[in-house]
Structure 1
């Protein structure tokens, strides 16, 4: 006879972390903030023309 019991499921894959997880890390955010402020400061300095 046919056995109608469900087949066992394979284990769920491990959760993968994308780039949004990497961007949410505090050291990276501090680094990007410093680089952004340096770029902003140099652009303002260039516009004012001191």
Structure 2
């Protein structure tokens, strides 16, 4: 029977890819999205009540 195993140790498993929820949990992105949301809310309220 032929030995097909290699002498080297197997490579460690790579890190699991991080998904969209990990990216959304980052503080700078959350601050940016909050600022954009507040600006949109202020514009909507201005349109509703001032115009």
Name the TM-score, length of structure 2 as normaliser. 0.70
Q: CA shift at 1:10, angstroms? A: 7.3
Aligned length: 42
Q: Using the TM superposition, give the Cα deviation of residue 11 of structure 1 relative to its aligned residue in structure 2, in angstroms.
A: 4.6
Stretches of structure 1 lacking an aligned partner (at least 5 in a row): 1-8
Q: Which runs of 5+ in 2 are unaligned?
A: 1-9
Please report the RMSD computed on the Cα atoms of aligned residues, expressed in angstroms: 1.6
Which structure 1 residue ranges, 4+ long, deviate > 6 Å from structure 2? none
